[in-house]
Every structure is written in structure tokens, then in C-alpha cells.
């Protein structure tokens, strides 16, 4: 079957990936209420159908942090992507580059920024998680600056990790022999993945984190190291430290409250992402689309407001822009398509989203993405 939509790629990923990996991508924290709300609240918005406007020439281009994007979409940082397809981050970054949109490399990606930049012919945006070892942080920032990463996305909504019940049940971080056996069986039941990733996609390390300690060998050791070294003590004061070590634009990811958005604007970062980590952290928090208009109103004139969470189509992108975002990040959409078909899947998914966005623009009478505003939404 030819996937026609992002959700078709979700089903294709379900078939190709071991269950533990599919659930890791697909799941949210606790009862998954915020995850569901991210999607449902976008669906509830209604677009105004407008007619007899000249939409024969459409422009989906936007400028973000000095870059021209072919459409207002960025690939969000997604950890462990090199486990969904062989050298997954490199493959997805190639697809993003060809489509004219940025790819963001997670701190907990399998590939390094250098590998991604070399594969794609363009350096990725880089996402930072703060660990207690500031020496390692400073080295990491210097290294990704050397690679030429233009934008730093600093994720702040993971002071402590939320629990995802699916990962607990599946033994995501397999520690017991029974869990390891069950994961081996899971892998054997998915031979295409087994060959592509498990056998041909090595080394399975976290590229960026590897320099932190020579003792880290297996993925589970990396994961444990990250868990132990996460810095839950960081505050707005630490943005100053990041600024000292990073000369380019800083985007704070994981803001859901107007008070925090005002702090970000006052501190002078260049952008923020209205996000609840795709419903993977505080379950019961607002959906991103619900939080977006208030934040855009409060600080949109002072910094670039982006959003992510629940974006599953080009129509959703238009709704997010009409609600105040300059661009959307997409997480699961690209993780599923990468897991299903590698680079070709991500390239096709981006093509689908672009076409949906263009149709949505034409049928709402909006020829230029720069002119999108709240008037596109029905009351």
C-alpha cells in the first residue's frame, strides 16, 4: 500500500519496527491525555473556506533565523533515531535538506553532528539537554559550532523525565535477562529492521554523548549515564551560561505558559517552541495549540514563536500558523516515516505535508504564507 498520509506512515512504522521501538516513538507519558489533546485540539479548529481569490501562485517560503525555508516546517529533535533506520539521523537530514527545511539533531541521537552534516551536505540545528558536567556541555557546544550548526534548540521541559507506561511494560531499558530475551525475540520478528539497523546500522551509541566517558559501550549504559547526569537544578540564570558558550541564535523549547514566555523574551533569546514534548512529560498539561495564541500575543513581537505537538498534516501546519506560530516542528511524523522507509519515507512525508499545506492555503484564499493570520480560522 502506498502511504497517502502521515498516519499511514504511522501504520507502516508499526509493521516494520520492533514493538518496543514503535511504542517508544508513539507513546506519551502516564494516561497520554496531553498527547491525545495535542492532536484533538488541532482537529477541533475549523478553517474558513474562502473563494474567488487568485491563488494561482502560492508561496510557502518563510525566513527563520536568517535561513530561508521552503515551507514553515522543521524536523524536531527525536532521540535514538538511528535505531529506527540505519544511521537514521543522517538519512532524515538528507531528506530535510532536499526538501529545503531544517533538521534538528537531538543530544541523544545516534549520529554525531559531523556525521549528519557530512551526509546531508548541511549542518543540522542542534538540540541541547543540559547535563551537570559543564565541561562536557562546553565541549559539545564548541564541537557543534565547529560543524557549523546554525541554531541551538535548548530543551527545558525535561527537568525530570516523565514516565511512559508503554516503555515500562516493554522493558525499553532492558535490565533483566527476561526483558533482554523478549527484545531479542521482538527483533527476530522484524527481520527487515534487524538487517537494516541491528546488523548494518552500527555503532549503536549516542554519538554526541560518547565523548563524555570512555566507559560507555552499550545503549543502555548511555541511557543510564544521561539519566544520572541530567541537571534538574537549571534556572533562567543558566541561559546566560549557554549564551556565553554559543554565539548563534538560541531557541528555548518546551514553553507552555505565558509567564515563562515573558521570561524568555526578557532574557533575550531569539526564539521559543511552544511545546509539551509531544505529550511525553507533564500529562494533564495544556495542548500546545491551546497554549499557542496567548504566548504568541504576549511575546510574538519580541521573539520567534514556533510550536510543536500533534501536527500530522499540512492542514495542521496552517492551523498552527493561523494560531500564531511562525513555523511548526514535527516529531513523530518524521520518526514514523523514517522507521517505515528511511530517507525515502521522510522525503515522501515532507512532500505530502507540503502538498496538503498548499491545498489548504489555496482553499482558504491565502496565496502567501507570510500573510497567514487568525482570520483564517472560523470562530
Residue numbers annotated as active site: 277
* Angstrom distance (rounded) from CA 336 to CA 11: 8
The three-state DSSP-derived secondary structure of 282-338 is: CCCCCCHHHHHHHHHHHHCCCCEEEEECCCCCHHHHHHHHHCCCCEEEECHHHHHHH
* Angstrom distance (rounded) from CA 267 to CA 67: 23
* Angstrom distance (rounded) from CA 173 to CA 139: 28
253 is a site residue for ligand FMN (CB under 6 A)? yes
350 is a site residue for ligand FMN (CB under 6 A)? no
Least separation in angstroms between residue 63's CB and ligand FMN is: 22
Residue 110 and residue 91 in contact, taking contact as beta carbons nearer than 8 Å:
no
Least separation in angstroms between residue 104's CB and ligand FMN is: 7
Least separation in angstroms between residue 280's CB and ligand FMN is: 6
Least separation in angstroms between residue 210's CB and ligand FMN is: 16
The DSSP result for 225-249, as a single string, is HHHHHB-TT--THHHHHHHHH--S-
* Angstrom distance (rounded) from CA 294 to CA 285: 15
303 is a site residue for ligand FMN (CB under 6 A)? no
In this complex, which beta carbon is closest to ligand FMN, that of residue 60 or of residue 106?
Answer: 106
Binding ligand FMN (rule: CB under 6 A), the pick from 145, 206, 330, 352 is: 330
* Angstrom distance (rounded) from CA 89 to CA 363: 35
Q: What is the DSSP letter of 177?
A: H
Binding ligand FMN (rule: CB under 6 A), the pick from 127, 131, 183, 286 is: 127
Least separation in angstroms between residue 174's CB and ligand FMN is: 17
88 is a site residue for ligand FMN (CB under 6 A)? no
∠ CA 330-339-194, rounded to 5°: 155
278 is a site residue for ligand FMN (CB under 6 A)? yes
38 is a site residue for ligand FMN (CB under 6 A)? yes
Binding ligand FMN (rule: CB under 6 A), the pick from 277, 319, 348, 358 is: 277
Cell of 105: 539533531
In this complex, which beta carbon is closest to ligand FMN, that of residue 145 or of residue 311?
Answer: 311
339 is a site residue for ligand FMN (CB under 6 A)? no
As to burial, measured by CB atoms within 10 angstroms (0-12 exposed, 13-18 middle, 19+ buried), residue 136 is middle
77 is a site residue for ligand FMN (CB under 6 A)? yes
116 is a site residue for ligand FMN (CB under 6 A)? no
Place of cell 495564541: 293
Question: In angstroms, how far apart are the furthest CA atoms of the chain?
Answer: 66
Residue 342 and residue 296 in contact, taking contact as beta carbons nearer than 8 Å:
no
Least separation in angstroms between residue 196's CB and ligand FMN is: 18
Region near ligand FMN per CB under 6 A, out of 92-100, 172-180, 255-263, 328-336? 328-336
286 is a site residue for ligand FMN (CB under 6 A)? no
* Angstrom distance (rounded) from CA 81 to CA 196: 13
In this complex, which beta carbon is closest to ligand FMN, that of residue 223 or of residue 360?
Answer: 223
Number of amino acids touching ligand FMN (CB under 6 A) = 25
Alpha-carbon 63 to chain mean position = 19
Binding ligand FMN (rule: CB under 6 A), the pick from 23, 270, 308, 356 is: 308
In this complex, which beta carbon is closest to ligand FMN, that of residue 155 or of residue 337?
Answer: 155
197 is a site residue for ligand FMN (CB under 6 A)? no
Report which residue's Cβ sits closest to ligand FMN: 331
In this complex, which beta carbon is closest to ligand FMN, that of residue 317 or of residue 361?
Answer: 317
76 is a site residue for ligand FMN (CB under 6 A)? yes
Cell of 349: 512525508
* Angstrom distance (rounded) from CA 336 to CA 353: 14
Binding ligand FMN (rule: CB under 6 A), the pick from 25, 85, 353, 376 is: 25
∠ CA 311-316-322, rounded to 5°: 120
Site residues, ligand FMN (CB under 6 A):
24-25, 38, 76-79, 106, 108, 127, 155, 253, 275, 277-278, 280, 308-311, 330-333, 335
Amino acid at each position: 500500500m502506498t502511504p497517502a498520509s502521515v498516519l499511514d506512515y504511522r501504520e507502516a512504522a508499526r509493521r516494520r519496527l520492533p514493538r518496543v521501538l514503535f511504542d517508544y516513538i508513539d507513546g506519551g507519558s502516564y494516561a497520554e491525555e496531553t498527547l491525545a489533546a495535542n492532536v484533538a485540539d488541532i482537529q477541533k479548529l475549523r478553517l474558513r473556506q474562502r473563494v474567488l481569490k487568485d491563488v494561482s501562485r502560492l508561496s510557502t517560503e518563510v525566513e527563520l533565523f536568517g535561513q530561508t525555508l521552503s515551507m514553515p516546517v522543521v524536523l524536531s529533535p527525536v532521540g535514538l533515531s538511528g535505531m529506527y533506520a540505519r544511521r537514521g539521523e543522517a538519512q532524515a537530514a538528507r531528506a530535510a535538506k532536499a526538501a529545503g527545511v531544517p533538521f534538528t539533531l537531538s543530544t541523544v541521537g545516534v549520529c554525531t553532528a559531523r556525521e549528519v552534516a557530512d551526509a546531508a551536505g548541511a549542518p543540522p540545528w542542534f538540540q541541547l539537554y543540559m547535563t551537570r558536567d559543564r565541561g562536557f556541555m562546553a565541549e559539545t557546544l564548541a564541537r557543534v559550532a565547529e560543524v557549523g550548526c546554525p541554531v541551538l534548540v535548548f530543551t527545558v521541559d525535561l527537568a525530570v523525565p516523565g514516565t511512559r507506561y508503554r516503555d515500562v511494560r516493554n522493558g525499553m531499558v532492558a535490565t533483566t535477562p527476561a526483558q533482554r530475551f523478549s527484545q531479542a525475540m521482538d527483533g527476530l520478528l522484524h527481520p527487515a529492521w534487524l538487517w537494516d539497523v541491528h546488523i548494518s546500522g552500527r555503532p549503536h551509541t549516542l554519538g554526541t554523548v560518547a565523548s563524555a566517558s570512555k566507559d560507555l559501550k552499550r545503549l543502555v549504559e548511555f541511557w543510564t549515564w544521561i539519566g544520572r547526569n541530567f541537571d534538574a537544578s537549571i534556572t533562567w540564570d543558566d541561559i546566560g551560561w549557554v549564551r556565553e558558550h554559543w554565539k548563534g541564535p538560541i531557541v528555548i523549547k518546551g514553553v507552555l505558559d505565558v509567564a515563562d514566555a515573558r521570561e524568555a523574551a526578557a532574557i533575550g533569546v531569539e526564539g521559543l517552541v511552544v511545546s509539551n514534548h509531544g505529550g511525553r512529560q507533564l500529562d494533564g498539561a495544556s495542548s500546545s495549540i491551546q497554549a499557542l495564541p496567548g504566548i504568541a500575543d504576549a511575546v510574538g513581537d519580541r521573539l520567534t514563536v514556533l510550536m510543536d505537538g500533534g501536527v500530522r498534516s499540512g492542514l495542521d501546519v496552517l492551523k498552527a500558523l493561523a494560531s500564531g506560530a511562525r513555523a511548526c516542528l514535527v516529531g513523530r511524523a518524521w520518526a514514523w516515516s523514517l522507521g517505515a522507509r528511511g530517507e525515502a519515507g521522510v522525503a515522501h512525508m515532507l512532500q505530502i505535508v507540503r502538498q496538503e499545506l498548499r491545498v489548504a492555503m489555496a482553499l482558504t484564499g491565502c496565496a502567501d504564507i507570510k500573510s497567514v493570520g487568525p482570520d483564517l480560522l472560523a470562530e
